Each structure stands twice: as structure tokens, then as C-alpha cells.
Structure 1
Amino acid sequence: MCYQLIRVLCFVSSWRLGVINANFQYNLEHFPVLQNETANFSRGISDLIERIQTERAFVSYFLLRKHPADCVDEQLPTNFGLPFMQLNESERSYVRGTGSSFLLAILCLRQLNDKDFMLKFSADLQHIRTRRILVIHNKNLAQSTHSEIETFFRNCMQVKFLHVILVHRDFAETNIFHSFNQFPDLQVETRDLRATTPIYPNRLADVAKKKLRVLVDQIEPITMLYEIGDKLILEGYIGYFVKTFALRYNFVLWLPDEYESSIKRVISIEEIRQAARNDSIDLGASLSTPQKQENLHEYIYPVEFFQWLTMLPVEPHMETYYFFISIFTPTTLVGIFVITWCLCVVYVVQLKLKCQTLRWNRQFLLLVLMPWHLDLLRGLLNQSTDMRLNSATRRIIFILVFALGGALNNFFSTKMVNWLTLPPQKKPIKSFEDVTERNLQIQIAEPDIAEIKFYRGEQFWKKHAHSFKVVCRYDEFLGNIRNMDTRYGYLIDTLTWPIIAQRQMYFKHPLFRLSESLYYTKGSLLSLPISENSMYKDLLSEFVMRSRESGLLGYWYSRTFYTMVSIGRFNFTDLSTNQIHEMLTLKEFEWVWIAYAVGVGFSGLVFILECIWYYKV
């Protein structure tokens, strides 16, 4: 029985070894096939990447895969001749921040409908989603249906990929790859590597009437909308920029239906930025500063450098009666009095010495205090006199008095002529404290309060809030600027002021001036808001630089003034008032009468004191 058991065990062992040997032979037979397929795929991918490099160079790779086998060749990264970054499914990275963003992104997929993995890949490519992408599908071409490929490319559109090609496991044998064009709508393309056309054509060269969704702020002179029949016309400085950009790349400007009501009102920058964030629009036709925001990727290349200043009413001309105050200032009057008194005293002393009647008594003291000689004082008015100039001292004194009177008369006449020809203005406002002293207020729109606090700080606003008149609606604020009410000053930027200044050139005299001393920011950047991963961002930034370089931005700005006139935003009506210089009136001698009254009162007081002195002493 033991012998039979041994025979059974030997038979089973022999059969098991035979099966194992058969399986081993089977694997050995297919191993060269798998090895050849992997090697062929690697060579095909190398040829493809080499051609991509010749079309437009890149300096590194980014590879994402779940499993090494998803890339067909598990050793595929070792074939790269440039630096590469490799991530697995569980790892996350902000690829743009790890090095150069001029890269070729490679995604290895086992299933084309794996949308979650696609979203993870797009998150890694934050802010560089327009870079070229190579997707490797670990299945043969025949195993992928057209609907699967179309769904895959629709997912690419949703995450804002622009340049994507799809290759399969048998790419080396078929030389077939897929790409897509989303302009104006999704078109899946089946292409052959052996063709001479570019692997990644410039999809934005002509977008074939693709809708460019735009939201307009309607802040003058940046953008303005007006209706002609059933058509909306976009005008303004940035409006021309947006229209020219759309014309250059064959876009169709489109205002989304949910914003149709915006054509009658000003749109705040916060509303525009929110619309760009939730992908309701492609571009905000507005200018705002990126410096206030944490995410600079929501703006294109800066368009303008600007300052926020104050537009103040031109100081009014001084009334004519102020002439006497400005000419005969207290210092001037005291100087004339002292000089005349000294000359009169010298004259009196010389006269006493000549007559040998000089006595150091009370009479001489009163004579020194009141030395006025009427014949001598006539010289101040350049009048004739019957004084006896029989001594050299008297002649010198009279010549000095006469010269002083001539100089005073000439000075007075010259100042009077200059005053009547070009009346001087009041002292200009140079600080926010001066605004308060003049009982003037500066109008601002309520949304701009946050801007002032951002640039000048909370303490500045708390200190000077009483100097501002807050207007709730921006439309009303713009209307007040157009009306040019001189009872107020206005917060204004250096983009709007040249339009105001050009309008005032048609006035007889300007109503407002720009005050650089009352500022809110010495300088800041302005740019157009856009969605964070917009595929048009680089295109718009390049167009801004080319427009600035060619002088188009300057031309569009200069054209805006006449556009505003043509669409009725304002006209050439002279809002200034004529200032007619009338003849001198009694009111204009007000200060003269006051001075005369003071003199009469002082002389009466002296008379009373003299009487008291005479009768008491």
C-alpha cells in the first residue's frame, strides 16, 4: 500500500511540474512580444516629443499617473532628457511654483472617463492650463469609442485646457492621435503624426466667431454703453481696446443674458470680479487695481499707472475792496508812518535850530510827538508848496519826502492797473484742513470709501470724514462731475482729469483745477479683471503691450473725449460765468471808511487828552 501511495504522489508531482512548465513556456513565448510593444511605444513617444520640442521649446516635464503601468512603459520617465516632476494620485503640488512653467505636461490614464483624476491634474496645473498637454491612454485605439474620446475632450474644455493631444497604447503602429478645437464649438480631430501640420496649432489665431462674454462697468471715460435701435454700442477708452481685441482674433462680443439690466447702470468692480470668478463672463471691461487683491492671477498685464487726487474749484477772484487791504498792509502803513515821522522831526529840529528857539521843554516834547508840517506833507502827494527851501537840509528833506510820495503813487497806480486787468485769487487750498476752513466738501461715491481707507488708512478717513460728501450711487456721482458744480470738490483719478481739462478749454475760464497736494494714492496700477485660469489671459496681456507700444492706447484715449460729446455725455456749452469789473462802489471803500473812522476816533481821543492836560496840568 505504501508503494501505491508513493506512485500517486509521484504522478501528482509530475503533473504539477508539467503545468508549471507549460505556463512558464507560455510566458516566455509572450514576453518578447510585450517587450517589443513597450519599446515601440517608447520610440513612438520619443519621436512625438522631439517633434513637439522643435515646434516650440520647453525646458521640463510634468508627469501625473496613478500607476507606473498606466504610461505603457513603466520606465518612461527615464527616457526624458530634461528635468521632470512626477506625481502620483495621492500627491498634490502647485506646479507653477516649483520651477519653470515652460513645460510639457503628461497625463497617463487607464480610463478616459476618469473625470476626478482629470480634475486633480487640472488643479496641479493651476495658472498654467494653457500649456501643452500630452495624454497617454493605456488602451489600443480600436478599444476607444468616439463618444468616449469626445467626452474626454469635453472634460478638458470644462477645466479650461487649450492644447491637448491624446495618444493610445498602439500609437507607434498607427501614428494616429486625437486633438480638439473648441472654437466656436467642440470639434474632435483625428490626426496622423506623419502629416506636416503642427502638433499643437495656434487655436487662438482665429476663434471663428466665438462669443467673448463681457461685462461693462460704464465708468467714464473707461467704458460706456449706448443703444442704437436694438444694438448695443461699446465706447470709451477700454471699450475701444476690447472691440479691437475681438476684431483681431475674430471674437463676437456678448453680454450675458443675466446682465442685460446692467446697460442702464454703473457696475461695481466687485460685481465684475465675482462674475469672472464664477465663470459667468470671460472678461471685465473695467479697470481696477490688482494691488488691493491677494490673487494677482485674476488680472491681465497692467494697462495703466494712475493717481487718485482731488478736483477742486478754482479759487474765486478777490473783491476789489480787498485791494486796499493787500496794498496797505499794517507793515506798510507802519513803515510809511515811521519814515514820514522821522523826516518831520528832523525838519522841526532843523527849523528850531535855525531860529535859535530850541528849548527842551514841554512844548518841544509835544512838537516831537506831533511834528506834522502840512506844507511838507504835501510832498507825499507830489503837490506844490510855498516852503522856503533856503537851506541844504530843508532841500534834502523835501526831496526825500517828494521821492517817497512819488514812489507811493507809482506803486499804487501800478497795483491798481494790475488788479483791474487780472484780479488775484484767494489763497489756494493746499491741505484737507484748508478744505474744512473754506467750508468746502469733496464729493465721493460710497464704494470709493473702501479705496481711500486702503490707500490712506482708517485713521485718515476718521480724521477727515467730515470734509467729504458721500454720494450713494456711482451714476449720481458721475452726473455731478459732468454738471461741474463749483460748490464741491470731487475725488478724481488721472485718467478722468484730462477729459475734464479738455472740456474746460472751451470755457472762457476754467472752473476746476487738479490738486496734487490733496491725494489718496501717489501711484497705483490698473488692469482688466479676468477669470483665474482664463485661456485668453496671455493673449490679452500681449495685446495690451502691443497696443501701448504702437500708440493705439494713446489714440483711443484722445478719441474718447469726442465720443463722449457725440453720445451726449456732455457738450461744449460754456458753464463758466463772465466776471465784469464794475466801477468802484461805496462797499469797495469799506475798509477805507473803517480806517478813516478809526483815525477820527483816535484824533478825538487825543483832543480830549489835550484838554485834560491843559486844564489840569
Structure 2
Amino acid sequence: MASGWLILILGCFGQLSAMNVSIPSEELELQDRLLRVLARLRLEEQFNTLLIYGNECIFHSLLRHLVIPTVVVTSGSTDFDWNFSSSTLILSCAPEADREENPVTLMKLQRTRRLISLQNAVSTCESICHQYSLKEQHNVAIIKTNFDQSDIIYSCRFFQRPNHQEVHFFADQPIYIENFRNMHGAEIRTIPDYLTPRTMMYRDKKSGESRIMGYLANVLNTYAEKVNAKVRIENATKLGVKKASVGEILRGAQEELLDIGTALASSLQVKNMSFITYPYILTGYCLMIPVPAKLPYNQVYSMIVDTVVLSIIFALFCIFSLLIVYTQNLSWRNLTLANILLNDKSLRGLLGQSFPFPPNPSKHLKLIIFILCFASVMITTMYESYLQAYFTQPPSEPYIRSFRDIANFSIKVALSRIEANVLTSVNSTHFREISKDHLLILENWPEYLILRDSFNTSFIFPVSVDRWDCYEAQQKLFSEPAFYLSDLCFNKLMFFSLPVRKYLPHRHLFEDHMMRQHEFGLVAFWKTRSFYDMVQLGLASIRDYSQKRQTDGSLLLDDISWILKLYSMAIGISICCFILEISGCIKLWERLWRCQRLRRAQ
């Protein structure tokens, strides 16, 4: 049995020896050099998957020596989406072997390094690098058939002339470089939406050119400085409009009319994430509600009166009346409904007024009078404190607590047609809770922004939390805040991203730069400076838009109108009772009542 396995192993070695003998020594040398190239590339940047495009070539002869997963695409295009999370190296048997048409795979492998085998002298390195640059694939290197003798690799250089560089394999030079770390003054096309304070236009005094600033525009400006590029502001007429909105800038990115849009598209608007960057801002989308007006002074008296407290005071009044009636004669003989409800001592005592004290009172009556006086001090002090506090700072009218509460107020929610369409498309439940009668939808987007920036307290406005920060800074200059940010949010977790061209080759560098600005706190700093930048450019004023309450030095007659009305009513009732008592009507009613009782008793 052991001899049989030995014969089988020797036979396998014989076949391998025969195969090696059949391969020319030049090809073996080229294979050895290519394996060294792959080893060096793996040291420079780790990869764990190989993708080979094209028919049989020298790369296919390496398959039996490779120890990493390899995918061979002889047709030049994959039928599946390349969703592997692994890093990949692409080997092409010829410049025209890579005919990838799958958009998902193209985007996934756009930045992947490519090594091309040039087997004929028809194509030149110049034309090959230009051809791949048209497809916006710039990590390209080329080897020729005499690579085993020359050890020269031709690496494409996008911003250089000529557009390729000879790199000796044994020289200390990188084969692949990040071409877009220095763009040599190339232009980055953008179209701003000019929404303050994100993007604001101004004219540079030195150069006379139009420039943009703001906490969104600054990210693009600093990125252009970092990669040695220039921001070119395209005219909105390129999109067929006078002033571009977010939706139109998104359309411009999809049609490749711009590289990076200076606008913010929300996660509610965009379904295809290929045309937006990594989220720039994480924020909420809530309602900006006018601060409720202060109650007029004539309603303060009714505010300090609580039904429960009045019930407790009335119960104390009845208890004190009962105790006073009983302790005067230690008997219930004088206990009547009139002596309880119209007890002069108890009523005047609770109101903090003086009342006649009976001569030679008992200890029990003294104790009751003492408790009554203590209760009057507590009640009058409490109400006086409430009254003075509310006169100093009157309470506000009711706040809006839910979306359904909007229907109970004479105020409407003003929003643009774009926002209404987005909220309708995502089937927002909160938006459906607002009745149509309390909605004001403005077709013109700039008109809506002017209305919101004017702090018109006749409307409620939806606003993102990052935009509210600017409004809040502006309201610090007001005598009183005009609006407050409520907890009524259509979406508390919403991403805002920049529109970007789908196959932008330096997209990863821009996203890395954007996240670094957040990490260093520059975005937060720019946002805090937004309002002052607007004032500097004349886009905002320090005018007080709040409706300051006119206060006089003293109370007016209208402020105590309720007190006067109640006082007049009480005086009228007292006069009527006095007239009835003088005219003897009460005694007459008492006689009639006694006669009726006698008749019933008989």
C-alpha cells in the first residue's frame, strides 16, 4: 500500500517536471518577475483579491502560484455587482480587455489599482493612460513583454506631461500615487444654492472675482486649497434656472454638469446614495413656533385664582364659621345656614381685615381666632406674592404641545412647495396630522425664505436645527425672543449631504477632508460665526424683529377692569339686600314661612 502511494507521488512530480520543461525560460523569468511585482504591490497596499480581465495571457499562468482568491472575467465585464468588502487588484491582459459595463462594479472598482499587460506595439503608454483617464480611472500601471529584461513599469500620472512615468522596479519610487493630492490648479466645478448662512456670495476686493463663503462653502474652499485646485462657480443658467435649488443641483450632479454641489440634500430627498457624499450634518427637522404672547394684566387676577385652592379656602371658611358659632355659647342653638355662609368674623378674618372681638372670650374661642388670623396671613401673603410676580412677569398664553394642537390656534404652518412634496412623498404621519386649513404652502422658494427670515409671528415655520442656530444667535440681539425651537419634529435624525458627481475620482479625498473639519471643530466654529458673517455681507441686520410689549409706569384702568366689575357687582348685591331689609320684605317672608309651617303641622 505504501509503495503504491510512493509511485503516485513520483508520477505527479514527473508531470510537474515535464510541464516546467515545456515552458520557455523567458516566460519563466517573466512569471518570476510578475510574482515579485505582485508581492511588492501587496506590501505597498494590502489586497486580498485578484480580478483578471481578458483572454489567456501571462497573468493566467500565475494562477497556480497564487494563494489568494482570484476572479477571472474573460468576457471583460461582470454580470454581477462587485460587492466584495475585500481590497482588490485588477490585472488586464490588454488595454481593451477591461470592458466593464456594470455601474455598481465600476463605482466600486474605480479607485482600484490596475496592472495592464501591453503585448503589442500598436498602443502607446500615452494613449492608454489617456484612455483610462477618460473613464476616470487613474491608478494604472503598464508592463511590456520585455519587462523581464528592462524591469521598467510605466505608471500613469494624470496631472503631468507626459501623462506617464517610467518607474524602475528596483528603484525606490512608488508605482502608484494619489494623483489628486496635488491637482496643479485644476478646476472643481460647483453650483451654489445661495441659502444663507450655508452659502453666501461676495466679491473679492483684490481679484474682483465672485467667491462664496459660509459653513458649507468653507468646506469646499479649504478642500480646494488643500489639493491645490480652484473652485469654479458655474452659472445656474447651466441648469436652465435663474437660481438653483437643492433638487436642481442634484439633477446637475446626476447629469455631470458639476463636480461638487454647494448645497445640502436631506436624506428625505435622495434615494440613490451614489450622487451624495458622506453625511455632512446630522440634524433634526422641527417646527419653529412663535413665542406665546404674555397675558394682559386684566387677566392676571383670574390666573392667580385656582379652583382647588378656592375650594379649600371655602371649606376653611365654613369650618371656622361652625367653630365660632359653637364656641361663643358652647351650643348649636344659633347654628343656621346664614350664620355659616354669612359669618362676618370668619369672612373678614380670612380676608385679613379687623372684626369685633367678643368680650370675655373663652380659651377655645381665643385659639380659634388665633388659627383664623394665622390662616388669613398665609392666604393674603400667598395671593399677594402671586399678584406681584405676575404683574412683574405676566404668564404666557398656552403653548402648542402637539401637531394636532395647531388646529386649536389661529396660526398657520408656512412651508415651501418643495418641503411639502418631500413630506408627502415620505408619508410623514406628523405632516398628515396638520389640517389643510392650517397650512400655507408657498410656491416660490425665495419668497418663503424671505418670509421666514422676517420673523413673522403670524406663522409657524419648519426649520433644520443647524439653521435654527443662526436664528437663535440673531434673537440674542432682540429685546424678547420671537420664536423658539419646539420638540415637534418631522424627523429628529436627518442626514444632510453634498451633491456630488457619481464617478468623481477624488471623492474619497473630499469626504476625508470633510470629516477632518468636523473632527477639528471647524464646522462648529463656522456655524457659530454664521450670523456675523451674514451681517458683514449685508445679508442680515441687527434690527429687533420682536414685538416688544408696551409697558407703562403705572397700572391703567383697563388693567383692573375685572376687579372693578366684581366690586360693582358686590356693591349692587349689598344695596339690594339693604333695601330689602329696610323695606321689611324679609320679615314678611319669614311670617309667610311660619304660617305655612303651622298649616302643615295642623
Give me the TM-score of the superposition, normalised by structure 1: 0.82
Which of 76, 79, 85 pairs up with 2:62?
A: 76
Indicate the percent of aligned positions where both proteins have the same amino acid: 19
- Displacement of 1:529 in angstroms is 2.3
Which of 180, 194, 197 pairs up with 1:221?
A: 197
Is contact 2:264–2:497 with CA below 8 Å preserved after alignment? yes
Distance 1:460 1:492, change over 3 A: closer
Work out whether 1:358 is the aligned partner of 2:337: no
Matches of 2:484 and 2:220, distance apart in 1: 31
| Amino acid of the structure 2 residue aligned with 1:85 | V
Distance 1:262 1:208, change over 3 A: farther
- Displacement of 1:460 in angstroms is 3.9
Which of 129, 137, 141 pairs up with 1:153?
A: 129
Q: Deviations over 1:428-468 (max 9, x none)?
A: 22112222212112222221123334566267426544333
Which of 61, 74, 84 pairs up with 1:98?
A: 84
Number of the residue aligned with 1:62: 51
1:191-340 equivalences under 5 Å are 191-228=167-204, 230-257=208-235, 259=237, 265=243, 267-290=244-267, 293-340=270-317
- Displacement of 1:186 in angstroms is 7.6
Give the gaps of 5 or more residues in structure 2.
1-19, 594-602
- Displacement of 1:145 in angstroms is 5.2
SS in structure 1 opposite 2:107? coil
Is contact 1:290–1:296 with CA below 8 Å preserved after alignment? no
Aligned pair count reads 565
Q: Deviations over 1:341-391 (max 9, x none)?
A: 33234333444557xx937xxxx6454465423x55443443444432412
SS in structure 2 opposite 1:216? coil
Is contact 2:189–2:232 with CA below 8 Å preserved after alignment? yes
Matches of 1:284 and 1:408, distance apart in 2: 67
Matches of 1:333 and 1:599, distance apart in 2: 18
Work out whether 1:144 is the aligned partner of 2:122: yes
Work out whether 1:489 is the aligned partner of 2:483: no
Number of the residue aligned with 2:560: 589
Work out whether 1:396 is the aligned partner of 2:381: no
- Displacement of 1:399 in angstroms is 2.5
Which of 8, 28, 39 pairs up with 2:28?
A: 39
Matches of 2:228 and 2:436, distance apart in 1: 49
| Amino acid of the structure 2 residue aligned with 1:514 | L
| Amino acid of the structure 2 residue aligned with 1:206 | N
- Displacement of 1:489 in angstroms is 1.8
Work out whether 1:135 is the aligned partner of 2:99: no
- Displacement of 1:211 in angstroms is 0.7
Distance 1:206 1:90, change over 3 A: closer
| Amino acid of the structure 2 residue aligned with 1:492 | V
| Amino acid of the structure 1 residue aligned with 2:447 | E
Is contact 2:77–2:99 with CA below 8 Å preserved after alignment? no
Distance 1:291 1:196, change over 3 A: farther
- Displacement of 1:310 in angstroms is 1.2
Matches of 1:185 and 1:436, distance apart in 2: 68
Worse overlay, 408-417 or 33-42: 33-42
1:374-453 equivalences under 5 Å are 377-392=347-362, 393-453=364-424
Matches of 1:459 and 1:574, distance apart in 2: 32
Work out whether 1:570 is the aligned partner of 2:540: yes
SS in structure 1 opposite 2:116? strand
Distance 1:297 1:394, change over 3 A: same
Give the gaps of 5 or more residues in structure 1.
1-30
Q: Deviations over 1:321-353 (max 9, x none)?
A: 112112223333343333223323433344455
Number of the residue aligned with 2:512: 542
| Amino acid of the structure 1 residue aligned with 2:384 | S
Q: Deviations over 1:105-126 (max 9, x none)?
A: 11112xx5x49x5344887433
Matches of 2:330 and 2:236, distance apart in 1: 104
SS in structure 2 opposite 1:233? strand
- Displacement of 1:597 in angstroms is 6.0
- Displacement of 1:162 in angstroms is 1.6
Matches of 1:521 and 1:168, distance apart in 2: 58
Is contact 1:444–1:490 with CA below 8 Å preserved after alignment? yes
Distance 1:494 1:430, change over 3 A: same
Work out whether 1:475 is the aligned partner of 2:446: yes
Q: CA RMSD in A?
A: 3.3
| Amino acid of the structure 1 residue aligned with 2:474 | R
Matches of 2:68 and 2:347, distance apart in 1: 103
Number of the residue aligned with 1:26: none
Worse overlay, 228-237 or 431-440: 228-237
| Amino acid of the structure 1 residue aligned with 2:61 | Q
Distance 1:548 1:38, change over 3 A: same
Q: Deviations over 1:394-450 (max 9, x none)?
A: 323333333233223222221222122222222322112222212112222221123
Worse overlay, 595-604 or 437-446: 595-604
| Amino acid of the structure 1 residue aligned with 2:535 | V
Which of 143, 152, 158 pairs up with 1:167?
A: 143
Worse overlay, 518-527 or 85-94: 85-94
Matches of 1:283 and 1:443, distance apart in 2: 31
SS in structure 1 opposite 2:540? coil
- Displacement of 1:179 in angstroms is 3.4
Is contact 2:320–2:346 with CA below 8 Å preserved after alignment? no
Q: Deviations over 1:214-259 (max 9, x none)?
A: 1212222222223457521211111111100000000110123564
Matches of 2:100 and 2:444, distance apart in 1: 42
SS in structure 2 opposite 1:92? coil
Which of 492, 500, 505 pairs up with 1:530?
A: 500
Is contact 1:313–1:513 with CA below 8 Å preserved after alignment? yes
Matches of 1:519 and 1:447, distance apart in 2: 17
Distance 1:179 1:95, change over 3 A: farther
Is contact 1:269–1:286 with CA below 8 Å preserved after alignment? yes
Is contact 1:62–1:104 with CA below 8 Å preserved after alignment? yes
Matches of 2:289 and 2:434, distance apart in 1: 20
Distance 1:185 1:415, change over 3 A: farther
SS in structure 2 opposite 1:417? helix
- Displacement of 1:281 in angstroms is 1.2
Is contact 2:431–2:490 with CA below 8 Å preserved after alignment? no
Distance 1:377 1:390, change over 3 A: farther
- Displacement of 1:301 in angstroms is 2.5
Number of the residue aligned with 2:600: none
| Amino acid of the structure 1 residue aligned with 2:500 | I
Is contact 1:127–1:532 with CA below 8 Å preserved after alignment? no
Work out whether 1:558 is the aligned partner of 2:528: yes
